[in-house]
Structures are given as C-alpha cells and as structure tokens.
Amino acid sequence: MHYLTSKEVQFLELKANQIRQSIIEMLVAAGSGHTAGPLGMADILTLLYFKVLQHDPKNPTWSERDRLILSNGHICPVLYATLAHAGYFPTEELLTLRKFGSRLQGHPHRTALPGLETSSGPLGSGLSQAVGMALAERIDNPYSSKYIYCLTGDGELNEGQVWEAALQAGKEKLHNLIVIVDRNGIQIDGYTKDVMPLEPLAAKFEAFNFDVQEVDGHNVRAVNDAIGKAQAVYSQPSLIIAHTIASKGVDVFERDFRWHGNPPGKGPEDRVPKDKQAEVALEKLRTLAGIIAKEDIS
C-alpha cells in the first residue's frame, strides 16, 4: 500500500470536497435523492479511486482492474461524482441524475455507465455478489493481485443475506475480499441503535472469520493504512468498520437521519429553511475547501 504524504492527504481532502459539492449540485438538479450517505462516504470513495484501486478510466473493462461493489446503491451520487471526477465520463453529466433517459439512474445500473460493476438497489445483495467475484477470481487465477472491495451501510446489515454471504466468505477464506462498512449510525427510519442495534459489530464479523479493523472514515491516512493491512491478510476476508458522520462537511445537516433520503430543498427545516438549504450547503463546503487549501503542509 502506498504511503500518503501530507501533500497527497491535502489533495485527497480537496478532491473529496469537490465531490461533495458535486453531490449537492446533482441532488438539487434532480430534486430527489440521498444526501447523508453520499456526503459521508466522499472521503473513502476519493481515496479508493485516486490512490488505492487498480483501475483505468480510459479502459473501464481492463481485465486487471480491482472491482468495487456498491451494495448500498442508494448512495450512488457519491460513486457517480467520484467516477466523473476520476475521468470516467464528463462532470457536466452529473446534473442529469435521475432524469428520464439519464445514465445516472437513482440506483446504479451496471450496463448504463462505465465503471459500474453491478446493479444495486435491493439492500443486502452486494456482499453476495462480491463473494462470488472474489471466489471466481481465486479459482481463475490463484496468484491474482486483484481485490474485490464491497461497500455496505450499517443499516443494510439488518438484511439476513449479508450474514449468509459473510458465512460463505469466512468459509472460503477469501483474502482478496475487503469489505468497508459505512458506520454512520443512521438509516431511513432513525438511528441504527434504536431500529436494530448492531453492537458488538466487530465481534460478530470476527466470529464469521473476518479480520476486522475500525477506523475514522474521514481520516484518509488511517483508512489508507487499514486497507494496506487488509491487503496483507492472506488467510481470511477483511472488514473495515469506517466510523463516518452522516452528511459530513455540512455541519447543519450532520448526524441527522432525516437527511438520509432527502435532497437539499426538501430536508428538515428546523435548522435551515428549505429554500436556503442548497445555498448554505455549498457555502459551507466552499469555505471548508478554502481552509484546507491554506493549510501549511511544508
């Protein structure tokens, strides 16, 4: 795993901020979609596509690419925005999110857009797909250096199929499978601790024979190090519990489950009026970008 210099960390933080701004603009143009999860996962997606993954935007079907499976497909605005900023398609197309005829559907459709490995929407199926890919890769090429990354949400862990897939991954000792859980503590109906408590989450996956790490999902150096450690595990699948903040970057939206499925302009009004939500969100992100850009990294 590549060590991140301070300059690289600053680049990734600025790129994640740009992606967050794109997410807000996309959601406003669409008038629908999810805010909390996409903003919360921007740091991790940025790290993956700009430093970690073996991939080629000019050749999306490159046979030696790593594969990223987005199981919680409703957070696709962050994946679309990251793919566009990474060069898979023009960033101008982001504003077609959820429009009739758009390649950027409300949930990813594999054949519609370059860079998508699976279609997703029904929660719980992504880990099963990732397990199948990891097992197939090991069968086809036992010495392969490719990894299968599966992103899943903590609310999604309510689905029983996730645990069936985890059993299979542990049984097969799929060392080429790295699962990242977006542990933001919210889901559409409320806080995960109230809807369906998950703890002790790490111990549960360890019991399924996963190597488990927990990190701050907004510390790109910590996530990068965790992925490096996961890649060095050769006897079992790996899981990284990434503790994130829902709607990260827009403090007046943060940690509020009501932003799970609402775009700016349709969110709760107790902190920001609906007609000001997009403006406030972009202003806060641009201010934050200015602060990051001025940081002394010498």
For residue range 41-71, what is the model confidence (pLDDT) as tens digits?
999 999 999 999 999 999 999 999 999 999 9
**How many separate helices (H) and strands (E) can be counted in the chain?**
10, 7
pTM metric for this prediction = 0.97
The residues near 281 (Cβ < 8 Å, ≥ 6 apart) are 24, 250, 253, 264
- How many C-beta neighbours within 10 Å does residue 50 have? 18
pLDDT tens per residue, range 118-157: 999 889 999 999 999 999 999 999 999 999 999 999 999 9
Task: Name the architecture of domain 6-293.
Answer: 3-Layer(aba) Sandwich (3.40)
Structure tokens at 253: 């939206």
